[in-house]
Structure 1
Amino acid sequence: MKLARFSIDGTTTIGVVQNNRVIELAHLLPGAPATIREVLAAGPELFQRIKAALSTQITGHALEDVRLEAPIPDAQKYMAIGMNYHDHAEEAARAGIAVPKNQLWFNKQVSCITGPFDPIYKPRVSDKMDYEAELGVVIGKQCRYVSEADARSVVAGYFVSNDVTARDWQFQSPTFTLGKSFDSHGPIGPWITTDDEVADPHDLQMRLWVNGELRQEQNTGKMIYNIWQQIHHLSQVMTLMPGDLIATGTCANVGIALGKFLLPGDVVRVEIDQLGHIENKVEAETAQDYVR
């Protein structure tokens, strides 16, 4: 099942994607939760009701007629792991960057989250804006002290992520958080693909293009620490909640390694087999972009 958040005719709602159409959840199940976080928290019983309703539901909106939004814009946490692919760790080592001996975690502040096809802004204060294709994981159950063996049972599903990074700000602080958290630097989507649709999340091909040039390509089986090890590790520290997001690391050929940083006008596309793709145009930040 693919859970999407989308806008049409000035209204934003959630729904289920099926056969290139998105069906509003409220039409499938009157009284259903209004957010994907709430759907995930409701658990398998609601999933089964949605699937049963889909078997008789044929209406909906064509995907081309809606605007897909960030599926979970209000996550409590967005955690990301650094240097978690063998080839990326090797390119970092060649650049003189020490490879961590343990899992290296940082926050992406949730205010960075943006939609799968929204612009990403080059900050006025950074000249080293970079891309990182990543497999995203969304938690489906409140949990703590999860064993590796049980970790998959707390996963609701997966999404495509670009861990956009301002490298000059990243290296100002050992936590990485500032360089990873600029507004708009967390595009996710295009929807949440539930775990039951993905036979093996450690056997998905991941690719990233900039302006049609293939920059990154790797199989998710090349992680140093797999998803279950990541969840086990994080859950020793904090309670994970439904809707929490995890970015599981990027592979080689990031912009800093190639000497190719993102500039206004660039278009970045990230694609993961079975999960879909996101595509974001880089725009120059102006004084008006973030007036709230």
Structure 2
Amino acid sequence: MKLLTYRSEEQLRTGLLTEKGILPLPHSMDEIIQGGTSLLDELKHMAASGTIQDLLQEQEIRFGPCVPRPGKIICVGLNYRKHAEESKMPIPEYPVLFNKFDNTVAAHQDEILLPAHSKQVDYEAELAIVIGKTAKNVDKEEALDYVFGYCAANDLSARDLQFRTNQWLLGKCCDGFCPLGPYLVTADEVGNPNELGIRSYVNGELRQNSNTADMIFACDEIVSYLSQHMTLHPGDVILTGTPEGVILGYPEEKRVWLREGDEVTIEIDRLGRLSNRMKQEM
């Protein structure tokens, strides 16, 4: 199933995308993520019995983040071999971890502010894992059983702030720097997350074109590894890294950083297209 949130009368509501439109749901996204298979079965029944009069159309709604209130936002750096190579950094022996906070969460079609104190904002197409069950010390073989679903993400990064010190946090945590969406797709519909095409576009120009098979640490490895060191809870979001093709990987003389008016689109097989336009903060 493809789930989403949308804004209605200043409230955030939840919907289910069907072939004919969006079916409004009586549950919050938090309730759905925590509700398990029994609630998903109920939603399937609602979709089958809904009438055309109940449906909304995508062009009529204003999207919200598909995971509006994530618990933890954990990110994996340098997790694609070719991206590590273009960044001129060694292949990591263990997952390189950092985090974002809830101020970074944004929605499909939201306008993203380019920070006034940064001149080097970059895009990063990423597959995001959304946890569905409490996970602690889970084996790799069962790790994906704890995943509710997946969505597209853009790990926007202010490179001049990121590399100001040897801690990356500042350049990763600016407001709106973690768009999620447009849909949260349940794990059963996605299938194997380790073989999905992943792409990014800037103003329609293809910049990144890879596959999650190039990950150094696959999704099951990441979930298992994290669960060995911290408890993962329903609604936690894990960004799994970006492939080659980011602006940072270009020769220095060819780097043109994101600027006002640029539209960045992240596209992942089976998950849809996440688009955001940049606006300069004054």
Offset at residue 10 of structure 1 (A): 4.3
State the alpha-carbon separation in 2 of the partners of residues 211 and 14 from structure 1.
29
Matched, 1:262 2:258: yes
Of 75-84 and 199-208, more deviation after overlay is shown by 199-208
Offset at residue 175 of structure 1 (A): 3.1
Change (3 A) 1:20 1:244: farther
From 62, 65, 69, the counterpart of 1:67: 62
From 237, 240, 245, the counterpart of 1:253: 245
1:92 corresponds to: 87
1:6 corresponds to: 6
Matched, 1:78 2:73: yes
Matched, 1:222 2:214: yes
Q: Is the 8 A contact 1:8 1:65 kept in 2?
A: no
Change (3 A) 1:20 1:87: farther
Q: TM-score, normalised by structure 1?
A: 0.91
Aligned-partner residue type, residue 42 of structure 1:
G
Where in structure 1 are there 5+ consecutive unaligned residues? 27-32, 287-292
Spell out, residue by residue over 1:73-125, the C-alpha distance to the aligned partner (whole angstroms, 9 max, x if none): 211110110010111011112xxx34433210000112100111101111001
Change (3 A) 1:176 1:53: same
Q: Is the 8 A contact 2:95 2:217 kept in 1?
A: yes
Offset at residue 173 of structure 1 (A): 3.1
From 163, 167, 191, the counterpart of 2:155: 163
Aligned-partner residue type, residue 199 of structure 2:
R
Aligned-partner residue type, residue 261 of structure 1:
W
Give SS of 2:92's match. coil
Instruction: Write out the 4+ residue segments of structure 1 that deviate beyond 3 Å after TM superposition.
Output: 8-11
Spell out, residue by residue over 1:226-273, the C-alpha distance to the aligned partner (whole angstroms, 9 max, x if none): 001001111111111111101111000101112221111111011111
Offset at residue 177 of structure 1 (A): 1.4
State the alpha-carbon separation in 2 of the partners of residues 225 and 174 from structure 1.
23
2:179 corresponds to: 187
Q: Is the 8 A contact 1:86 1:222 kept in 2?
A: yes
State the alpha-carbon separation in 2 of the partners of residues 99 and 11 from structure 1.
44
Q: How does 1:195-234 map to 2 (within 5 A)?
A: 195-234=187-226
Number of equivalences: 276
State the alpha-carbon separation in 2 of the partners of residues 175 and 77 from structure 1.
18
Matched, 1:40 2:36: no
State the alpha-carbon separation in 1 of the partners of residues 55 and 196 from structure 2.
29
Change (3 A) 1:108 1:10: closer
From 140, 143, 153, the counterpart of 2:145: 153
Give SS of 1:54's match. helix
Spell out, residue by residue over 1:171-209, the C-alpha distance to the aligned partner (whole angstroms, 9 max, x if none): 123331111110011111001000010121111111101
State the alpha-carbon separation in 1 of the partners of residues 109 and 161 from structure 2.
25
Offset at residue 9 of structure 1 (A): 4.7
Q: Is the 8 A contact 1:114 1:186 kept in 2?
A: yes
Identity of aligned residues (%): 36
Q: Is the 8 A contact 1:92 1:99 kept in 2?
A: no
Give SS of 1:149's match. helix
State the alpha-carbon separation in 1 of the partners of residues 102 and 148 from structure 2.
19
Offset at residue 12 of structure 1 (A): 2.5
Q: Is the 8 A contact 2:87 2:248 kept in 1?
A: no
State the alpha-carbon separation in 2 of the partners of residues 227 and 11 from structure 1.
33
Where in structure 2 are there 5+ consecutive unaligned residues? none
Change (3 A) 1:46 1:2: same
Give SS of 1:271's match. strand
2:45 corresponds to: 52
